[in-house]
């Protein structure tokens, strides 16, 4: 018996939509990462992009448990002296809520060229409106 290995050109891609309203951040990120990676398909191959496109809406209404709203911090460093920036979960939600889900999902996919290709299929929007209606995304 030969081992099956999927080819990227033969993979049929679907569009999925996840409504993040009143759902926990981690749960939404796990669902999105599995769909992006293709782990829900029987043809899953670790070194090939077998995943689907994922649209996440209502990112501004995602929940988080405990006191993380004020205690969880996101940090960045530009590489220059004094280039350290820090903001809380609440501040980031007010500034750009899409980044919350994008960062959570990015940490769940491979950190290499394959992961970058997989990550490009994630589309996150703060509200309910999105420009992907023509693809007819199915709800998760």
Please state, for a pLDDT cut of 70, what percent of the chain lies above it: 100
pLDDT band (50, 70, 90) for residue 86: very high
Q: Has residue 28 been placed in a domain?
A: yes
Q: Do 6 and 50 meet the contact criterion of CB atoms below 8 Å apart?
A: yes
Cα 28 to Cα 54, 55, 64, 65, 85, distances in angstroms:
11, 11, 11, 13, 26
What per-residue confidence (pLDDT) applies to 117?
97
Q: Do 59 and 100 meet the contact criterion of CB atoms below 8 Å apart?
A: yes
Give tens-digit pLDDT for 22-76.
999 999 999 999 999 999 999 999 999 999 999 999 999 999 999 999 999 999 9
Q: Has residue 6 been placed in a domain?
A: no
Q: Has residue 3 been placed in a domain?
A: no
Query: Model-level pTM?
Result: 0.92
CATH of the domain at 78: 3.90.1180.10
Report the domain count for the chain. Answer: 1
């Amino acid at each position: 018996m030969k081992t099956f290995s999927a080819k990227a050109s033969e993979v049929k891609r679907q569009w999925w939509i996840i409504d993040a309203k009143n759902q926990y951040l981690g749960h939404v990120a796990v669902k999105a990462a599995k769909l992006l990676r293709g782990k829900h398909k029987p043809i899953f191959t670790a070194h090939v992009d077998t995943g689907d496109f994922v649209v996440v809406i209502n990112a501004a209404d995602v929940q988080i448990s405990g006191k993380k709203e004020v205690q969880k911090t996101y940090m960045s460093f530009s590489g220059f002296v004094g280039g350290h920036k820090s903001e809380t979960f609440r501040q980031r939600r007010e500034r750009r809520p899409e980044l919350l889900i994008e960062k959570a999902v990015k940490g769940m996919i491979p950190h290499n060229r394959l992961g970058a290709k997989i990550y490009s299929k994630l589309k996150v929007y703060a509200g309910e409106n999105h420009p992907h209606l023509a693809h007819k995304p199915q709800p998760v």
